[in-house]
Structure 1
């Protein structure tokens, strides 16, 4: 077979331009060089070779030194490229390790055998050269072969003959059976480095001058194509942008395969493009290096280029995953929270141990708790009718709300939880106070979830999803739906709680019941005793702040669903007398069942305090401590009759009184301390000008009420709202009732009277009005405000009179109006003079007294 050589001559096998070397001559050449070699020969009596580890070149120089009549071949597809992971092993030189390991293998039919054996198969018998060194290149999957030849032999002819031989007798390794071993003559000066640089399909070709004083030419794409196409299929040749200031100039040569780029880099690095081929006057030196190629991901590109489709689809997938994965888990935890399945203290063995410990008289803490229960039993006996009524409602099938209303400290929660529901197995208590006092949407969601046992809850993701939604709005022009409002999050929590409560209510139902044909809703309606009870405590707490109205509206709607679907009984505990306005939105066609708790009667209050004192005396006797004398105890009990009338029957005040008496104070002194403390609280909360912006009343309005109630235990509602200070009277009075300064009594559905918010406040009001300096200061503020109001009235009448005076003449029809304005202005002026006279007296008092 005849092939054209690169020099334009014809070569064949045997080539007329290559001398015919006999086996004896080749063997002689090998023996002459044997003292400098350290590896076995290619074959007995044939070319000699060395496999000394030269992964960094001759003498660690990074290059292969060649002399006259010497050349270098680069053989491709000798090693698999997948062995590059060996470079990650610490303290391992893969090239040296591979060379040492493969030197022990001498099987010519294996591709991963001794490189000398591979080269032996790749070199034809009649090729007149002698192999000097074999340098494996593990990273690039090939090997350098340094050879020498006789004078007069052209390296290009050797390359042509070798290519023809490998084409006629291809070598296909087992790790790459679709690609054969190839060989090319190295035309440049290869850089044999042992750095960790992984080959890529793209090669960066830099154009450098051959000497510092010379200049380099920028090689054209046509020239680059003619130089690099023979090493493999090219996909692109990208020259440096013309406006780029980066030097030296460069171009990117992109191959379709990594092995093609590795072959080109090892054969053309250091090649000098002569002037006749476009290399400039002095030639241009080519420096080649691997360039990382950004992988294009069509899936990611499509997703980023179609956000209007991808983002809503992603939201839908996340929502589906949340419902499928997390909702059953959350429902399970809510069910365990209601049934106390995960509470160790509710397990039978734990309750038995606790019962044994509570029977021990040496456990003082438990005994005191029992004494306190005995003192509270007096209160519950007085309210037994309310307890029985509540118990009766819970076994009826009526789907309506139960509302327990009363002032703070009246014992609403204790009445419901500790008395009416003490034997009820499944109860859920939701404290609205904890939800409302949480700051921020994330904390509010977390607090609501904690009340029902909803977990896992990712409240912190609410702010992150809002940021993602904001970015999506900027990208696609509309919200993506990632962020959810507080209303939506609360709806999810209540929805999961509904599912859990329904499962609890249906748990007692068995397949063998006498009514298996009934639907779940019908069965729940027929068995109200199995429904769990939901207690919503502190309902309408801080109802005038921020998003409180929305939270309570959602609670009311959720409670309506529970009752109308017969899933659970709902009991609201509230101090707000206007609860019906909020609950009527949820159940507008139902009448609420209401229990109103008031203060204890004087007899019950005295028994409650006395029981506390008796329990304390018994504890002291059992502990060996000295108790008060019987005479002192009787004196304290006699004094209680008078102080109870002052203190009232509020449970919290009665407990406070009992604790102060236990410390050794007399009942009279203890009540005086309570009155003084209440007066200080009133002064701070209602009268001082601190954070007035959050109040719906002024200190002058609150002081007028305090002063009037100190003189009269009950005020007429309609009379008060006619006062000049109460232009917006009803709103102010409702706000003060919500703040518990006053309480408004109703008759026939309309407000008619105003009383102090707590019984002890009556005495506290009197205590505040006895302070002459405080009274003078606050009265002066009232007169100042009244003077301002009357001055505005006078100015209004004067303005109207001036306009009437501008009319030509004085029509008789306007004389009554003019007289009316004059009378009103005179009346306001008389009030101003009266208020100023009283203000002068108050100022004199403030100047004389501390």
Structure 2
């Protein structure tokens, strides 16, 4: 309770004293508005008045004796600052003191005592007993005593007329004046954190527990509450509602009207003659929070066909306007290696020295792999020069470098284009090996530096579309397929590549006035290079065509718009089928890489061995090739091993480890044989059978080359033979050579495979097992032929008579059945021999 100054009536004018004390008039001096007022915490009982923010004696009410009444003054405190009372160590006393400090006597008063003092007319026959501020409701209760011959209603009218002619307008709300009404009910003085609102809930309660309350009509409610302010709406409780007690809502146009009504009418008893029922009706008022946005929420919920597509469009627009520039910048940074520490030459040198683990560091040394490749670059100098020439031409540069795995395609690009700073390498293997839509999108984004990527949104948006199908019957279009997501990634990459190409443009040069397209066409040397590695990797898997088709179309758009040079690296010999869809009217520039010649292969191995030669303090050290006496074997083993780059590097590492060339090649052959056995001959889910692969292995072991059409005539390839051969070529078991546009020869997939095939055929148990399975299939095929002949002969025998014209057909069927039977007998004889081998050998 705040100890404020009271007013004592005097014949001349009232005198303010501390309220709560009955002191007779001592002076006719009227206090100034800025007179100091003692304050105390509103939540603590005042020693002066006995009234706190929780009422007299913390009961929640203000007790009145005969000839005592209560007025409620409004517009004394701001309503927008109720939240201040929730701040720790900030109570009503502090807030009211702050109001008083900003008080200006010439404008308005800022404390309850001053406002009440000005609101009461002179010579008013009342005695102010106490003033109770209601900070959250923006007003104050004034408890006063009046003479028995004067009614409280007359005093209320006098004060209202006085305030009408001499209005008081506080500094925080100068457009509205202070109002006052007589408290008719029994107000509930509480210090709970309940904020006022425009809506007041009026409950109808009985006056005694055994009595019943009347439900007031809207007309009665209007007559009771209209005097406090404009009413917007009144809502009665539905007649079929089971909620008790009965209630009604009264919506005022302003919050202060609601606070006035609640403080003046709470606890009011409406008697019978005014519609309150036989025993009267007690009114209990409380604030009801009114959700202003409810009609917006209801409209949004009732119009999903409009709302969901609009929300999807807004999210898409937000993504394009905010995230797309960030993603384009991220891709540019990825291409220029702005954040790639591993591309820094000093970082590379430090990591190289740390990885060696030696007790000294080597300046100017190169990796053994790079040194060994020098011989390859000397052999492929013409191809490297051709590639550099194509990069400087203004025509469409759609280049394909095709060769078997391990032929050095990626190394050729790195060596020939090492001077190009803006180079983007996309590994299709990482994209194709990703499992699931989200992982595929993440893999594609990582390859180009597309950040940020919200791959989880793909699944989330699919659930939204599924929910929309159940509510509105159609899809919202919010979800996007993997194909659409990939197109977005490639589109942003195109923007980044074009920006990098145009960044070299001199705005003050002679080409400053040229359009962007013409400038890009005229300056091919400034175009970035896009390298698409492992193109058509696992192209026979489901969904692979979609990924590769989108990449091919994107690459075609880069070349036709002169934005970038595009180079495809692939092991697939049928790459033209996929690329022709994207550029049907263009001729691809192609470089075919094969195995090294024996002379170059020997140089590669020797240079690998001589890489680690160093000179310290003028002391010469002999190279490994000079120290070793077993390198004479290289000429022979390289003929067996072939010129595949990966096999040569493996051979050099094994020789460096201390093995002889002959022993190293033998181990390479054994390892290749194990790979062939695991990948092609053991049972599994493949597009070929182990028997078909074994036929090729056994035939190639005795013949380095096979006729393509002769294999197709083999009984094991009578069904889908060409498709099986293509799949085996894709799996790199064999390679198919062409002449005049048609396949004509079949060779081992790698040179070392020829020796591996011979090694496998020397295994009697493996050969017997696979030959036995082949013979079983051939015998089953001949048996099916005999069954077909017997069925037809049975059908012919049932014909009436025996026409002479059918005798040749019958003879043909008998001869065919006899030939098949003779083959079965031969197969069974061979099967017996093979079974004997399997039972005798491990």
Tell me which interval the TM-score lies in, with the shorter structure as reference length.
0.7 to 0.9
Deviates further, 666-675 or 327-336: 327-336
3-state SS of paired residue (1:545): coil
Task: Determine the structure 2 residue equivalent to 1:11.
Answer: none
Aligned to 1:4: none
Aligned to 1:482: 478
Matched, 1:843 2:840: no
Within a 5 Å distance, the mapping from 1:446-461 to structure 2 comes to: 446-461=442-457
Distance change >3 Å, CA 326–CA 623, structure 1 → 2:
farther
Task: Provide the C-alpha distance between the structure 2 equivalents of 1:195 and 1:399, rounded to a whole number of angstroms.
Answer: 79
2:244 corresponds to: 247
Find the counterpart in structure 2 of residue 756 from structure 1.
Answer: 748
Measure how far apart 1:324 and its partner are: 4.7
Cα contact 1:430–1:451 (8 A) shared by 2: yes
Q: Which of 420, 426, 449 is 1:424 aligned to?
A: 420
Structure 2 length-normalised TM: 0.87
User: What does residue 225 of structure 1 align with?
Assistant: 222
1:151 partner SS = coil
Corresponding residue for residue 9 of structure 1? none
Superposition pairs of residues 141-540 of structure 1, within 5 angstroms: 141-296=138-293, 306-309=303-306, 311-313=308-310, 315-316=312-313, 318-320=315-317, 322-340=319-337, 364=361, 369-418=366-415, 420-510=416-506, 519-540=515-536
Output one character per residue of 1:146-177: Cα deviation in whole Å (capped at 9) or x when no partner: 12223354333433443344344443334334
* Equivalent in 673, 678, 688 of residue 679 of structure 1: 673
Whole-angstrom CA distance in 1 between matches of 2:220 and 2:793: 104
Paired with 1:542 and 1:366, the residues of 2 have a C-alpha distance of 43
Asked if structure 1 preserves the Cα contact closer than 8 Å seen for 2:15 and 2:29, the reply is no
Which residue of 1 is the match for residue 44 of structure 2?
A: none
The question of 1:71 aligning with 2:69 is answered yes
Conserved 8 A contact 1:406-1:597: yes
Cα offset, 1:386, TM superposition: 2.0
Q: CA deviation at 1:292?
A: 0.7
Query: In the aligned structure 2, how far is the partner of 1:342 from the partner of 1:743?
Result: 42
The answer for unaligned runs of 5 or more in structure 1 is: 1-20
Look up the SS of the partner of 2:611 in the other structure. Answer: helix
Question: Equivalent residue for 1:642?
Answer: 636
User: What is the Cα deviation at residue 479 of structure 1?
Assistant: 3.5
8 Å Cα contact 1:620-1:627 kept in structure 2: no
Query: Aligned equivalents of 1:322 and 1:380: distance in 2?
Result: 47
Identify the residue that residue 670 of structure 1 maps to in structure 2: 664
CA separation of 1:828 and 1:232: change in aligned 2, threshold 3 A: farther
CA contact (8 A) 2:401 2:567 kept: yes
Aligned pair 1:134/2:134, yes or no? Answer: no
Native 8 Å contact 1:616 1:662 kept in 2: no
Post-superposition shift, 1:392?
A: 3.0
**Residues 296 and 618 (structure 1 numbering): CA distance in 2 closer, same or farther, change over 3 Å?**
closer
Q: Tell me, in whole angstroms, the C-alpha distance in 2 between the residues paired with 1:697 and 1:354.
A: 46
Contact 2:72–2:182 (CA<8 Å) still a contact in 1?
Answer: yes
Asked if 2 retains the 8 angstrom alpha-carbon contact of 1:51 and 1:99, the reply is no
CA distance in 2, matches of 1:673, 1:61: 99
1:684 alignment partner, SS class: helix
Q: What are the equivalent positions in structure 2 for 1:607-626 lying under 5 Å apart?
A: 607-616=603-612
Match of 1:706 in 2: 697
CA pair 675-270 structure 1, distance change in 2 beyond 3 A: same
1:728 to 717, 720, 723: 720
Cα deviation per residue 1:118-173 (whole Å; 9 max; x = unaligned)? 22332334543221111111111111111222335433343344334434444333
Deviation string, structure 1 residues 296-346 (Cα, Å, up to 9, x no partner): 376666665555455555555555555555444444444444444555677
Pairing 1:779–2:768 present: no
**Which of the residues 18, 35, 54 maps onto 2:52?**
54
The answer (yes or no) to whether the contact 2:72–2:183 under 8 Å persists in 1 is yes
TM-score using structure 1 length: 0.86
- 2:276 and 2:398 map into 1 onto residues whose CA distance is 96
Is this contact kept in 2: 1:207–1:286, CA < 8 A?
A: yes
Query: Residue 170 and residue 31 in structure 1: after superposition, are their counterparts in 2 closer, same or farther (change >3 A)?
Result: closer
> What's the offset of the Cα at 1:805?
4.2
Residue 270 of structure 2 contacts residue 281 of structure 2 at CA under 8 Å; is this kept in 1? Answer: yes
- CA deviation digits over 1:589-632, x for unaligned, max 9? 333222211111222222222222233566999999999897x7
Question: 2: distance between equivalents of 1:184 and 1:716?
Answer: 113
| 1:23 aligned partner | 10
Tell me if structure 1 keeps the 8 A contact 2:601–2:638: yes
Equivalent pair of 2:19/2:128 in contact (CA under 8 Å): no
Structure 2: runs of 5+ lacking an equivalent: 1-7, 32-36, 39-47
Residue 43 (structure 2) aligns with: none
Is 2:9–2:15's contact at 8 Å kept on the other side of the alignment? no
Aligned match of 1:8:
none
User: 1:633: which partner in 2?
Assistant: 628
Q: Deviations over 1:422-467 (max 9, x none)?
A: 3334333222222222233333333333333334444343333333
Name the residue aligned to 2:602: 606
Cα distance 1:125–1:640, how it changes in 2: closer, same or farther (>3 A)? same
Partner of 1:595, secondary structure, is: strand
Residue 567 (str. 1) matches residue 555 (str. 2): no
Change (3 A) 1:254 1:110: same
Pick from 549, 552, 567 the counterpart of residue 553 of structure 1.
549
Q: Which moved more, 1:381-390 or 1:321-330?
A: 321-330
